[in-house]
Amino acid sequence: MRNGSAKTRRRIALAAIALAVVAVSAFFIDAWGRDQTKTFRPIPDDVMFQPSSASQHFQFKVAVTLRYVEPEQRKLVTFEVTVENKSGRPIRELLVTAELPRSLVAYSGGQFLTFGQMDAMDLVPGQVPYGLIACRTQVLPDPDALSDQERARFYAALRQPIKIALWWQDGQEYLTLDPDDFTFVDFPGWE
């Protein structure tokens, strides 16, 4: 009898361990699946874009920065769009999606051109955060490694407008950010 109860306890312990492993695995698989499904809100194809200067709610700053890192012949370019509330009223549940110009596809090696933030946030005048920064870093060609003609074409591709869509509790805007307002940092031979 004693031997039978030891076997029963061992079976119960093994069943409990197996149940715990299944429960923990299910939790991590579910959590991993949730993280993998987060995406930027897509910009509809059928919207009309206005110049960013027409916005009654937001002002923008755009910095495009070249950073020299490995591997050779490729450099990282960071596109940073700062969105600030200029309306004087709270903007609740703001979502932002930006899209780099399609002219960069030839230089990006098929990388995604869309970036933004995936979780809604509030911009309330006088309260932190004072603005939202949407950022995208991409591997792009090293301008120093390009011929003068290739560099001119690459820089022309960078000088295209960025599309930006903003959704919040009380509205939405679809805007283009003018490249004349961009700040370009550390680009050799930039004219």
| Each residue's pLDDT tens digit, 122-168 | 999 888 888 999 999 888 888 888 899 998 999 999 999 999 999 99
Give the closest residue to 126 by CA, choosing from 94, 96, 95, 89.
Answer: 89
Report the pLDDT averaged over residues 71-94: 87
Q: 74 in helix, strand or coil? A: strand
Domain limits, the chain: 1-38, 50-185
- The overall pTM is greater than 0.85: no
With a CB cutoff of 8 Å and minimum separation 6, the contacts of 71 are none
- CATH architecture of the domain covering 50-185: Sandwich (2.60)
